[in-house]
Structure 1
Amino acid sequence: MGSRTITVAQSGAADYRTVQEAIDSVPLNNTRRTVIRIAPGVYRQPVYVPKTKNLITLAGIRPEDTLLTWNNTATKIDHHQAARVIGTGTFGCGSTIVEGEDFIAENITFENCAPEGSGQAVAIRVTADRCTFYNCRFLGWQDTLYLHYGKQYLRDCYIEGSVDFIFGNSTALLEHCHIHCKSAGFITAQSRKSSQETTGYVFLRCVITGNGGTQYTCLGRPWGPFGRVVLAYTYMDACVKHVGWNNWGKAENERTACFYEYKCFGPGSCPSKRVTWARELIDEEAEQFLAHSFIDPDSQRPWLAQRMSARIPYSAM
């Protein structure tokens, strides 16, 4: 069975006017992919993909033209779903919440438009396995991108924020992504709980930029004691503090956190000045983090290769 395509346009010249209506139309426990083609526009409403609806694709033409935005914060949530469904606090405040597995987004901007100083304000929470994002933008301040659970692949994406703006306990590979630090804070807050967990974030061939200031952001701090983040072949501009990493005020985290760098460069890459408990990997150690197998480990049942080959240019539809 091939995929099914439905369309969304605010003008009404499509199957649905809102993204949520299109998602709601997908059958429960569906077994074939539904591609939701979203016409350019600013869609101001929270979006929820329930765990009963897998295999959904949201596709725009250009991320700058197709914006899914809302302004919930951890302390103020206005949503069409009940708190018992989406959760409360930081967990429930995502402008978009994805709980259905095998989700794909292409050429979409996910934004939380709450102003700076609003506290935790998530643009998207992903609590789902085997999710991929191609050429997407994630806009916000604190807690922009909540990679909470499952395995995710992000390629050619733009992610901005200030404090802990890529966080959670998923297993994620971010390749060729642009990370932009808008003000003082921490890029990552990975929350791996034990050394047995295989979770962590890998940034491969990424670019980290700032607002023109120097030494005002850290690469990360451990939200969970075993937080794991790897940056490889990544450019860091002068916004990155020379110490690089932060222990979140707990000296004991220094014994368990796994913060690694490998062949990074740029003015913010200062291996000799990093905290002593973070380190530069050697070639043999880095190998496991530099391939898609980090998030797609089962060679008998791969998911990512099929996903990458299935991308269809909008113009081909």
Structure 2
Amino acid sequence: MGRAPLCFHPQRAPPSTLQFLFVTMGNYLSSLSMFSLFIFLSLSSAAHLHQPRHPQRLHQPRHPQRLYQPRHPGRPHHQRRPSPAQPSDISAKQAISLACKATRNPEKCEAPLVNSNNVPPNPTPIQIIELAVRVASEKVKAAELMLQPIVDSYAGDPIRLIAAKNCLEIHRLTEYRLSRTAEVLPRGDIKNARAWMSAVVTYAYDCWSAWKNVSDSQTVAFLESLIELTTNALSMIVSYDRFGNEIGKWKPPGTERVGDWEVVGGPGPGLGYKGGFPSGLKPDVTVCKGGSGCNFGTVQEAVNAAPNNLEGVRRFVIRIKEGVFEETVRVPMEKRNVVFWGEGMGKTVITGSLNVGQPGMNTYNTATVGVLGDGFMARGLTIKNTAGSAAQQAVAFRSDSDLSVIENCEFIGNQDTIYSHSLRQFYKSCRIQGNVDFIMGNSAAIFQDCLILISSRTGDNNANAVTAVAAHGRIDPALSTGFVFQNCVVTGTDEYNALRQSKPNVHQNFLGRPWKEFSRTVFINCKLEALITPEGWMPWSGDFALKTLYYGEFGNSGPGADLSKRVPWSSQIPADRINMYSVQNFIQGDKWIPSS
């Protein structure tokens, strides 16, 4: 997607004809002295992580929240109860060495843990994981102490000021997710731990990517070490989830591409858990244009009135009447379990036009509606960004809400319409419209029974009309993230279809392209119309990520579903592995999505 300077995620340009040809031809910051001292003391753990070519960006809130609870109180949330520790006469250093074999860089994993002052004697596997999380947490807190004086010193340097502020707020959010992970690990709540640590890795990467082009190498190396520490902890959690205390079996995470499938149970997507927006809700407040006869005249006023940190299944329902609300809406972290309930697609409309072409704007902050509070739900409304395709990145809806349900909603934009940034999200029976990477991010998201609409954009009359639907940004195989499209229809708007028919050789459309190295996207039982090019998937740049991504298809229909000319680096999902991508297995939705 083409980026304006100072962006906080990759300069992602619209796909070009040259990229398409590649597919079809076959094989596709001076710092304060105190800050410098902290960095110097931290460099011993700095890592040289493989760096994906296109960093992402993020602006996060200052106020953490507590976890949105499963809808079944007392019911385990996919827990693995830690089994009794196996008798062992090996030293703590040897045990750490074994555990670090679960990471992609065991040598760099061991030193921070062995040198920690918190190593228990004869540690159990779960204690080693807890140690890894603690070490990462300590590093994050050190980073926060370092970054505050940097923020204070950069008032006259907008580039570095934006990067420093973003990093500081990210680290506060990261610290919260790490603390929640540390709380649930002893209880064996591994699925939550994996989801939250996947977000932590994403946030660590965001901070590093904000700095890498504007700061000195020492700062960048320090922030890079945070990525490695958090990724190592996550990799151990993955192995524990798979092998328990059999630490001798622990191994680095792999991908489906190399046959490293997780063992899961339950039915596949066609027979899976059915649920969505809950019935029987009653409004707590109402919003209507002008405020006459309602509690509020803007959606943001209603959000501000919501109580903080709602517990359990208690929700704050905002009934939004028919009308067009021209505003930017933010749901902060402390506003949990907020519900937007509109009067229907096209009737209740929230619209904005922020875009990266405006001074000081980055992609993350362009969102018309941006959500951070967990347990967010929405139904019966349209969210738009009307900046136009020439404005490049312009997000309609951005979400970092864990355990989020969106049903019967419409999202309209051009480039980056939905920024599904992190954590677990469920989109059901939605309409999503755009033309460049218009479903993007690094969440674990399922899109079920959705209508995916490719639209025309400025310049479509030129020979450069190449589109990718999805751009997923997984940066490491340990992350439990990916985009899953189930029973969706991929087609074009009426306007686009007419334009395409007039110049069929100009318009080429792909299911996705790899924004990051371990991008993961699958289409299952979807109807793919003829506008999908026979190759199916397109590269990002050269051969970047083509050996590490996972792009899979199963049971699709329609003229765009013919697999005979698919690129060789895409995959057909084995029938006996489909249930890995079910609602209950991929996002543990049967534990938190209300039943139909």
Give TM-score, length-normalised by structure 2.
Answer: 0.48
Which residue of 391, 404, 408 corresponds with 1:131?
404
Q: Secondary structure at the match of 2:540?
A: coil
Q: Aligned partners of 1:166, 1:120: CA distance in 2, in Å?
A: 12
Q: Aligned partners of 1:159, 1:15: CA distance in 2, in Å?
A: 30
Q: Which residues of 2 match residues 89-128 of structure 1 at below 5 A?
A: 89-128=362-401
- Report if the CA contact (8 A) 1:47-1:97 is conserved: yes
Q: Quick check: 1:158 aligned with 2:443?
A: no
Q: Aligned partners of 2:450, 2:518: CA distance in 1, in Å?
A: 24
Q: Aligned partners of 2:539, 2:577: CA distance in 1, in Å?
A: 23
Please tell me the residue identity of whatever aligns with 2:488.
Answer: C
Please tell me the residue identity of whatever aligns with 2:469.
Answer: I
Please tell me the residue identity of whatever aligns with 2:451.
Answer: H
Q: Quick check: 1:25 aligned with 2:317?
A: no
Q: Which residues of 2 match residues 281-296 of structure 1 at below 5 A?
A: 281-296=573-588
Q: Which residues of 2 match residues 151-230 of structure 1 at below 5 A?
A: 151-183=424-456, 184-210=466-492, 211-212=496-497, 213=500, 214=504, 216-230=508-522
Q: Secondary structure at the match of 1:216?
A: strand
Q: 1:107 Cα shift?
A: 0.4
Q: How big is each residue's C-alpha offset from its partner over 1:80-136, in whole Å with a ceiling of 9 and x where there is no partner?
A: xxx8xxxx5111110000011000000011100112211000001001101110100
- Report if the CA contact (8 A) 1:4-1:33 is conserved: no
Please tell me the residue identity of whatever aligns with 1:109.
Answer: T
Q: 1:4 Cα shift?
A: 6.1
TM-aligned CA distance change 1:250 to 1:189, over 3 Å: same
The aligned counterpart of 2:558 is 266
Which residue of 318, 322, 330 corresponds with 1:48?
330
| Greater share of residues in strand | 1
Q: Quick check: 1:242 aligned with 2:534?
A: yes
Q: Aligned partners of 1:174, 1:303: CA distance in 2, in Å?
A: 16
Q: Aligned partners of 1:208, 1:278: CA distance in 2, in Å?
A: 18
Give TM-score, length-normalised by structure 1.
Answer: 0.89
Q: Aligned partners of 1:73, 1:258: CA distance in 2, in Å?
A: 30
Q: Quick check: 1:144 aligned with 2:398?
A: no
Q: How big is each residue's C-alpha offset from its partner over 1:264-314, in whole Å with a ceiling of 9 and x where there is no partner?
A: 1111112110100001111012221134331116x7xx111xx245xxxxx
The aligned counterpart of 2:293 is 13
Q: Secondary structure at the match of 1:271?
A: coil
Q: Aligned partners of 1:50, 1:203: CA distance in 2, in Å?
A: 28
Q: Runs of 5+ in structure 2 lacking a partner?
A: 1-280, 457-465
Q: Secondary structure at the match of 2:420?
A: strand
Q: Aligned partners of 1:224, 1:103: CA distance in 2, in Å?
A: 27
TM-aligned CA distance change 1:136 to 1:283, over 3 Å: same
TM-aligned CA distance change 1:99 to 1:266, over 3 Å: same
Please tell me the residue identity of whatever aligns with 1:99.
Answer: L
Q: Aligned partners of 1:19, 1:193: CA distance in 2, in Å?
A: 35
- Report if the CA contact (8 A) 2:433-2:453 is conserved: yes
The aligned counterpart of 1:315 is none
Please tell me the residue identity of whatever aligns with 2:431.
Answer: Y
Give every structure 1 segment of 4 or more consecutive aligned residues whose post-TM-superposition deviation is greater than 6 Å: none
Higher RCO (C-alpha under 8 Å, 6+ residues apart): 2
Please tell me the residue identity of whatever aligns with 1:28.
Answer: N
Q: Aligned partners of 2:282, 2:344: CA distance in 1, in Å?
A: 22
- Report if the CA contact (8 A) 1:173-1:292 is conserved: no
Query: Greater shift after overlay, 209-218 or 255-264?
Result: 209-218
Q: Runs of 5+ in structure 1 lacking a partner?
A: 78-82, 310-317
Q: Secondary structure at the match of 2:426?
A: strand
Q: Aligned partners of 1:217, 1:118: CA distance in 2, in Å?
A: 20
RMSD: 1.7
| Count, aligned residues | 294
- Report if the CA contact (8 A) 2:318-2:340 is conserved: yes
Q: Secondary structure at the match of 2:390?
A: coil
- Report if the CA contact (8 A) 1:161-1:182 is conserved: yes
